[in-house]
């Protein structure tokens, strides 16, 4: 029996390809809201980021999420993502 293929996604911070399950999905929903998608199944344009503070800082500095989601991500959203990211990381 063939082994199931693991979907890979690129982190917008470090630019490394990793298994989709290892990354956090950030979504731009059809109504232009930006938020974390822990399930990875919400509708909208997605960007992926590692669960590390380093990748988050790189992505923020380079405005990588803005580019990936093709919208301007506000500071409030980045702060929310940062606190959510720390919550997700502490759950592991």
What does each of the 92 residues of the chain score in pLDDT, given as a tens digit? 667 888 999 999 999 999 999 998 999 999 988 888 888 899 999 999 998 889 989 999 999 999 999 998 888 878 887 887 777 666 55
pLDDT at residue 1, as a whole number: 62
Alpha helix positions (H), 1-92: 53-62, 64-69, 75-91
pLDDT at residue 61, as a whole number: 93
Which residues are bridge partners to 45 per DSSP? 28
pLDDT at residue 20, as a whole number: 92
**8-91, which class in CATH?**
alpha beta
pLDDT at residue 88, as a whole number: 65
Of 76, 81, 89, 75, the closest CA to residue 12 belongs to 81
Dist. CA 9–CA 15, nearest whole Å: 9
């Amino acid at each position: 029996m063939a082994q199931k293929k693991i979907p890979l996604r690129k982190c917008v911070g470090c630019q490394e390809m990793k298994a989709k399950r290892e990354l956090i999905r950030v979504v731009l929903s059809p109504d232009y809201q930006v938020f974390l998608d822990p399930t990875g199944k919400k509708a909208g344009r997605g960007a992926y980021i590692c669960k590390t503070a380093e990748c988050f800082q790189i992505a923020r500095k380079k405005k990588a999420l803005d580019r990936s989601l093709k919208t301007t991500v506000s500071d409030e959203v980045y702060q929310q993502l940062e606190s959510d990211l720390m919550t997700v990381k502490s759950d592991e």
